[in-house]
Structure 1
Amino acid sequence: MQINRLFQIIYLLLNKKTITAKELATYFEVSLRTIYRDIELLATAGIPIYTKQGKGGGISLVDTYVLNKSLLSEQEQNEILFALQSLAITQSSETDNVLSKVSTLFNKRHTNWIEVDVSSWGSSIDSKNDFTMIKHAILDGRVLQLTYFNNSGEKSIRKIEPLKLVFKVNAWYLQAFCRIKNDNRTFKLSRMSDISVTEETFLPTVPSSLNTKTSVDQKWMPAQLRISPEGRYRVFDEFKEHEITQNTDQSFTIHTYLPESDWTIQHLLSFGHTLEVISPKKLRRQMQTKLTQMIKIYKNSTIT
């Protein structure tokens, strides 16, 4: 208890600059004699603490004092603060509280250099709330129930044991054990909806590697794409540098591998007129078929 009280005294002094012995005694519910003994112990330990008598006086620390300066370098202190800043993604009040305390202990201000937001532009706060809900379900070992759309657009209600959140290739995924499929699965957060935490619990055990049906059974095909200069803003976001060749007319030729799924068709169509599939012929025909279906919809439209 005394060690904890000594640490809290230092924190209070760093935060409030000056505080009276009576205020400390009231705060910790101890006697004035105990507080004076604590101050003496801190001074003996080398903490630059001093008292000032009279009006406006009290117990203070030297203004330049930093608690862990002897234990942590400037860079190490910054790394701790930066790591806490990145945890703001969880929208946790505990994180804000810890960050405030550590910033005070290190005598640092204006460290808000990073913000991580899991929601898309224009989306509501629900995406952040879902992320926080999933985080607590993982830590508490609680089963989640949700609606999920797979790669083929099939809708299903799932009960899962959430194990780990993963950020990969510009998207968030949840690794979990699916009670419906009775197997490990990886769920894309953007395809999850109606998420709720159930009363059911499980013992969290994260395997060293969570193989999923998607990663095991997914077939990939080599593909050659051409993207016009108008689509250049997406080229380096979507493809690796070694896959990209810039042509003399400022267009781009892409040599890459794509999954054999309906998702690939939908994704390539999102490039609009800026993208053309050169090969394989099978993928090119699939694009033609999908575009013909889209044109048919608009030709037959009765909307006026």
Structure 2
Amino acid sequence: MKIERLLTMIMILINRKKVKAQELADLFDVSVRTIYRDVDTLSCAGIPVTSQQGSNGGISLMEGYRVDQQVLTKDELASLSVAIQSALTSYEDPHAEAVLEKLTGVADESVRQSVDQVFIDLSPWGQNIVLKEQLTLLKQAIESAHCVRFSYAASDGSVTSRLIEPYTLVQKGRMWYVYGYCRLRENFRLFKIARLKDIVEEETESFEKKPLQLAELPWDKEWQQPQNLVHLTLSFDPKMVTTMEEMFGLERVDAEHSIIEVSLPENEWLYGYLLSFGQRIKVIEPDHIRKIVRERAEEIVALYKEESH
């Protein structure tokens, strides 16, 4: 829309002072002639915008021009800018980039310095390009209400083809997930993006979003469903009491007796999680979990014994 383009142009010019007409034309996917018509429109509206020809020319605003920023306080501008800047480290979003450009243009130098004091980088070490591409594709499908098809590898190694109606991207525990309605399971599911392969946005397969209260964190509710939980009694090395309190919470740790009482979902993740503590944690109850962990540990020992021969 022209109004949105004009507003974005103003914010870009406030932030960058001088911009080539061709650069703006490429940004908005319009002709250079359209950009100059926009300049005339802004001038007629009382916005002090000018254009200069030549190699050092460009479109600019009169020095010192600022828009009214009373809608947001300086602290609110800084917080919003940090949040958007953080999100952009994980996926590409032209709309978010445009908003950040506008906020930067409205902000004065003190706000910009506040933003630079905090930088939240949500991307993994080594800049995982594949993950960023996946997140960008999924976000695009969510915005367009298009289904997404992919191969999903479960924790037990089985692979199934899924078609889902994606609702939201979720970052939890430093991992990215997509939450959506799975056509195969006929229910909402949380899919770990690291286990997705061959992701395709089905542009011809649209869906109508169902009522869903994402603010209530439905994926957490599913995790805590009583039928999915098993109550564990664990003993631990007394030297690890501080670590256990950090990981399981003070209310679940009996520091005096080195005991942990906790309920967790029983699945492949749980077995691997318990094994990850090595000799520092021992399962006391229930017996079937003790048996599973012991068998997995014996398999690991047997694997390394085979390699030693």
Partner of 1:146: 150
Matched, 1:126 2:126: no
In structure 2, what is the Cα distance between the partners aligned to 1:12 and 1:183?
48
TM-score, normalised by the number of residues in structure 1: 0.72
Distance in 2 between the 1:133 and 1:178 partners? 18
Query: 1:285 aligns to what?
Result: 291
**Shift in alpha-carbon separation, 1:240–1:233, aligned structure 2, 3 A:** closer
> Counterpart of 1:23?
none
Percent of pairs with identical residues: 24
Q: Which has the higher helix share?
A: 2
Q: How large is the RMSD of aligned CA atoms in angstroms?
A: 4.0
**Distance of aligned partners of 1:283 and 1:3 in 2 relative to their CA distance in 1, 3 Å threshold:** closer
- 1:199: Cα distance to partner? 3.6
| 1:173 corresponds to which of 173, 177, 181 | 177
1:1-304 aligned within 5 A: 8=9, 12-13=13-14, 15-16=16-17, 28-30=35-37, 37-38=44-45, 41=46, 60-62=62-64, 66-92=66-92, 94=94, 95-108=96-109, 109-110=112-113, 111-112=115-116, 113-119=118-124, 121=125, 124-208=128-212, 218-228=227-237, 235=244, 238-247=247-256, 252-299=258-305, 301=306
Deviation at 1:205, TM superposition (A): 0.2
- Secondary structure of the 2:288 match is helix
Q: Secondary structure at the match of 2:204?
A: strand
Change (3 A) 1:31 1:222: closer
Residues 80/219 of structure 1: CA separation in 2 closer, same or farther (3 Å cut): closer
Structure 1 gaps, min length 5: 19-25, 44-48, 50-57
The number of aligned residues is 279
The residue type equivalent to 1:103 in the other structure is T
Instruction: Report SS of the residue matched to 2:181.
Output: strand
- The offset of 1:246, in angstroms, is 3.0
Evaluate the alpha carbon distance shift between residue 291 and residue 11 of structure 1 in structure 2; reply closer, same or farther with a 3 A threshold: closer
* Rounded Cα–Cα distance in structure 2 between residues aligned with 1:32 and 1:263: 59
Alpha-carbon deviation of 1:269?
0.6
Q: Contact 2:87–2:122 at 8 Å: present in 1 too?
A: no
Q: Deviations over 1:67-102 (max 9, x none)?
A: 233332222222321232232144325233432332
The residue identity in structure 1 corresponding to 2:149 is Q
Partners of 2:66 and 2:292 in 1: how far apart?
A: 65
CA distance in 2, matches of 1:266, 1:98: 43
Deviation, 1:279, is 2.0
CA contact (8 A) 1:68 1:106 kept: no
Q: TM-score, normalised by structure 2?
A: 0.71
Question: Structure 1 residues 132-141 or 75-84, which shifts more?
Answer: 75-84
The residue that corresponds to 1:46 in the other structure is none
Alpha carbons of 1:28 and 1:234: their partners in 2 closer, same or farther (altered >3 Å)?
same
Contact map agreement 1:163 1:206 (CA 8 A) in 2: no
The one-letter code of the counterpart of 1:100 is E
Cα distance change on mapping 1:85 and 1:235 into 2, 3 Å: farther
Contact 1:117–1:128, Cα closer than 8 Å, also in 2: no
Deviation at 1:174, TM superposition (A): 1.8
Counterparts in 2 of 1:60 and 1:10: CA distance versus 1, 3 Å: farther
Following TM superposition, by how much is the alpha carbon of 1:103 offset from its aligned partner in structure 2, in angstroms? 0.5
Rg (Cα) greater in structure: 1
Shift of the alpha carbon at 1:188?
2.3
